[in-house]
Amino acid sequence: MTTSTQTAQEPEVRKGLYGVIADYTGVSKVMPETNSLTYRGYAVQDLVEHCSFEEVFYLLWNGELPDAEQLEEFNLRGRSYRSLDPGLIALIHSLPTDCHPMDVMRTAVSYMGTKDPEHFTPDTDHITHVGHNLLAQLPMALAMDIRRRQGKNIVAPDPDKGVAENLLSMVFGTGPDSPASNPEDVRDFEKSLILYAEHSFNASTFTARVITSTRSDVYSAITGAIGALKGPLHGGANEFVMHTMLEIDDPAKAADWVNNALDSKSLIMGFGHRVYKKGDSRVPSMEQSFRALAERHDGARWVAMYENMRDAMDVRTGIQPNLDFPAGPAYHLLGFPVDFFTPLFVIARVAGWTAHVVEQFENNSLIRPLSAYTGPEQRKVVPMDER
């Protein structure tokens, strides 16, 4: 892949901003040389083992983990935003049932901006208020969207539940077969949210920072970020992973499928990364949760599919799985429809996006790169009657 071009006459051009350091950040650090990732100095694996999603959310915003009192206050505030907005319900029900659920998420955030009279107030407290509101409203929007497509009624949010359990119960109900009723399923789902919460200057976060750098509002920044995340080279990959696995169907055919795809120069979703070239720091933790879910939900077939695809890709190219590769089948085992996998990623990444919006806002410089022009030399307009 060409990362930069330069001749004696031309400036250096870094296509895709490959390798460019665009700004400082204190939110997270990606270390490809050691396949590791820290949020505010804590290894992501450590956070996955010991913290709730809410603790990690608090950490990303505030720079430190909360004590018990701070966490209680944070949860009380966040859960107080969990009331169903009749306008949002009506809006979601008015949208086509065959549109992509990411379009619903994007529209929901945009709508929320229209309802906030303070939306153009550029200050950190307001961005924090919006973050809490998004964390409360987006799981409801997602659950409502799934259930309306299945012809089911809304399940009301529960102010006593954490983000992960509340989301699962709004989507699947609270019956004995619901993953919301199985604490191990809730915890494995919560771990995926922690792993998806933040990842430095990825495309959607950078989009949010670009929008914030113009001093636009936080709803616009998150709406833009959702648009960037939807793409299959970014967050959309977790859906494509599962579509691929469902298409292959039989794990015994996985290696042939991978080799045929590579022969025809196709990209295989869930593999490769712009920054990690030797493996994604988040994969071992997500793989552990995926395997645990597979054991509880009769998912040996998907584990075999995972291993056979991964091994075939490794032998042929050495390209390693990224987080979306184990997350896709894990969400399938929990029972989510495939096209809702990237909206789940949105809910987790709201934490990172809003932390970056605050950071950009507090130390802003308009993001406006240059380009190397390749069009025609300057010329004169020939009037219409002479052309």
Q: Which residues bind ligand COA (CB under 6 A)?
A: 1, 233-234, 237, 267-274, 319, 322, 324
Cβ at position 195, least distance to ligand COA in Å:
11
Catalytic residue among 199, 273, 332, 356: 273
Taking the least distance from each CB to ligand COA, the nearer of 319 and 367 is 319
User: Measured at CB, which residue is nearest to ligand COA?
Assistant: 272
314 among known catalytic residues? no
Match 């993953």 to its residue by tokens: 179
Cβ at position 49, least distance to ligand COA in Å:
22
Catalytic residue among 324, 332, 339, 356: 324
Phi-psi map region of 273: left, alpha, beta (phi>0 left; psi -120 to 50 alpha): beta
Cβ at position 279, least distance to ligand COA in Å:
12
Cβ at position 346, least distance to ligand COA in Å:
15
Cβ at position 241, least distance to ligand COA in Å:
7
Taking the least distance from each CB to ligand COA, the nearer of 165 and 280 is 280
Evaluate the CA torsion angle 134, 135, 138, 140 in order and state its sign.
Answer: negative
Nearby residues of 250 by Cβ (< 8 Å), 6 or more positions away:
none
- Residue 294, Cβ density class (10 Å: 0-12 exposed, 13-18 middle, ≥19 buried): buried
Taking the least distance from each CB to ligand COA, the nearer of 55 and 339 is 339
Neighbours of 355 (CB within 10 A): 29
Report the relative pairing of strands 4-5 and 42-43 from DSSP bridges.
unpaired
What letters, b where the CB count within 10 A reaches 16 and e where it falls short, cover 297-333? bebeebbebbebbbebbeeeeebbbbbbbbbbbbbbb
- For 102, the 3-state DSSP assignment is helix
Taking the least distance from each CB to ligand COA, the nearer of 309 and 347 is 309
Taking the least distance from each CB to ligand COA, the nearer of 100 and 274 is 274
- For 374, the 3-state DSSP assignment is coil
User: Structure tokens of 46?
Assistant: 């450590």
324 among known catalytic residues? yes
Residues with active-site annotation: 273, 324
